[in-house]
Structure 1
Amino acid sequence: MRTRTAAAAVLGTSVLLPLLAPAAAHADTAKGDTVFTSVNFNKKTFNVGVSTAQTVTVAATAKDGSGMQGILGAKLVSSDDKIIHAYAADCTRPTSTTMKCVFKFTLDPDRSDYYGLRNSSAGIWRFTAEAVAKDSDFYDLETSAKIQVKRLARLATTQAGPEPVAKGAKLTVTGALTRADWNTNAYAAHAGRSVALQFKRSGTSTYTTVKTVTSDAGGKLRTSVTASTSGTWRWKSTSTSTTSGATAYGDTVTVR
């Protein structure tokens, strides 16, 4: 259970101060009939690049038969125990027994201080807060409200050639896969990833995976295929627990 202080109950803009001790994850705990009836995020997955900050909005509603005193200590905790406090909070009392608070947090990769994202922070983040009732019942939310924060991946525009190509001839397809490096605030090669090469016949709307290719040390992709019919080639990577998926712009090749 968190220590309840007068400062923790203040709603509005927060002063951002890092905590010296890591935020160890414990299971949710409760006393009495206090419950969180809902915890809703504006998104469940945040794919963050290297320069643009993103806002996480959390709407949390708590209920207790005696009425609510407050929702305290709201913060986001990263997979590597980075703690980000809400920079704004707006609380209302929809009924005599409920309280709803909307908290806003910033995920910013372009900061050099404690609050800037680092590669180790990618993964599952937890929203933690404590709902405290007027009769001193409480619900301590620790592990059940989660989002994913991922490093944004990018695929360069697909290049296929020669164009046009003779039917039955070899077609070379190239590309490049990078992802956000939050430590350096730049996009860096994403090596060793299996990326799908997909093809869509002219006049159709569905892509089919032809083969998978592993990105080299520089994130480069290169392979050869046999040209059989006109259509569009593109690269597509899937997401992981720490990195977003990406889809490249396609290159249309005419087969003669």
Structure 2
Amino acid sequence: MRIRATVAAVSALSGALALSAFAAPAAQAEESAASVASYRAAVAKIRQAAQAESGSQRAGARYDLDVSFSNFKIAKAIKVGATNHVATTVSYTLTHGADVDITADDFITDPIIYRGSYTSPDNRLFGNKPAKCTAASATTATCKGTIDVYPGAHELINTDAGTWRAAAEATAFNGQDPAGEEFDQSKVGYAGKGGLGTTLVQRHSKLTVDASPEPVQKNKTITITGKLSRANWDRGTYNGYVEQPVQLQFRKKNSDTYSTVKTIKTNATGNLKTTVKATQDGYFRYVFAGTTTTPAVNATGDFVDVQ
């Protein structure tokens, strides 16, 4: 499983969380990349211990936190380019026991999306910062967070495109310092739940069109070229999307509506080329309907002056 580089680095250097990362004022903690990475490392250890449990045999001896998650909302699709950072907002309802203090500095909850199984994911993505929760009652809160994606840092490979599942977790450290000599993990509470929803993580797409010659005499042939490309997360570039059906559409000069002229397929490099007769002034564009791994995209219309 691929993990965010900052988490791996801090985990390797410190091996634990400094409690000061939680105790710092909220504004200061949010501005500290080291604090973000530190709490990730600590929560990851608790999560791994919790998910390693089988039957009544506990690994790590943490206790089950009286927290549950519902009403998870996330975008239907997250479109991710070749290298740019992408963030999407997530919200969910957190229900907790009266003895759980969600306002404590060392109480943390997060949304997560993952590929594969929740307990043994092929990949996992989460936010740079913890979710922020607003109490709706004495035992419920509305939480909002983000999923942050860094394809340029090799968090994704091309085979990751498609359906991801959603999860949420909560950890109450209850004043325990994982870096301290007297750290008692039995006093740390953890709750996590997978299968809360789904989203598509897609390879961002681009589509171009060029109609020529311009201007053109009426009833002469127009050649319309273009290219359909999508993000290649393995290489950090955009490459042609091959053998994909794309519609050629036309809109009259004074109309707002496009109509489909024909459907053609991209070639072995993602390029498009076809011809039509010039009959009237208007705009030509290519339209791609999208797939599970790649979002739909429309080229900007190219105007042709017919004389």
TM range (shorter): 0.7 to 0.9
**1:217 match:** 268
Q: 1:205 aligns with which of 253, 256, 266?
A: 256
Distance (Å, rounded) in 1 between the aligned partners of 2:273 and 2:169: 52
Q: Structure 2 regions of 5+ residues with no counterpart?
A: 1-16, 23-28, 30-35, 52-63, 103-107, 172-189
Q: 2:125 aligns with which of 64, 71, 84?
A: 84
The answer to whether residue 71 in structure 2 is matched with residue 38 in structure 1 is yes
**2:217 match:** 166
Q: 1:230 aligns with which of 267, 277, 281?
A: 281
Which moved further from structure 2: 43-52 or 189-198? 43-52
SS in 2 for 1:110: helix
The answer to whether residue 177 in structure 2 is matched with residue 142 in structure 1 is no
Distance (Å, rounded) in 1 between the aligned partners of 2:110 and 2:285: 47
**1:53 match:** 85
Aligned-residue offset at 1:122 = 1.0
If each structure's helix is expressed as a fraction of its own residues, which one has the higher value?
A: 2
Structure with higher Rg: it is 2
Aligned-residue offset at 1:101 = 2.8
If each structure's strand is expressed as a fraction of its own residues, which one has the higher value?
A: 1
TM-score normalised by length of structure 2: 0.65
Instruction: For 1:214, give the aligned amino acid.
Output: K
| Structure-2 change in CA distance of 1:106 and 1:37 (3 Å) | closer
Aligned-residue offset at 1:242 = 0.5
The count of corresponding residues between Structure 1 and Structure 2 is 232
Distance (Å, rounded) in 2 between the aligned partners of 1:144 and 1:102: 15
Distance (Å, rounded) in 2 between the aligned partners of 1:57 and 1:248: 27
| Percent of aligned positions that are identical | 30
Distance (Å, rounded) in 1 between the aligned partners of 2:292 and 2:226: 23
| Structure-2 change in CA distance of 1:85 and 1:251 (3 Å) | closer
**1:180 match:** 231
Which moved further from structure 2: 91-100 or 192-201? 91-100
Q: 1:194 aligns with which of 234, 238, 245?
A: 245
Check whether the contact 1:91–1:101 (CA below 8 A) recurs between aligned residues.
Answer: yes
SS in 2 for 1:142: strand
Aligned-residue offset at 1:207 = 0.6
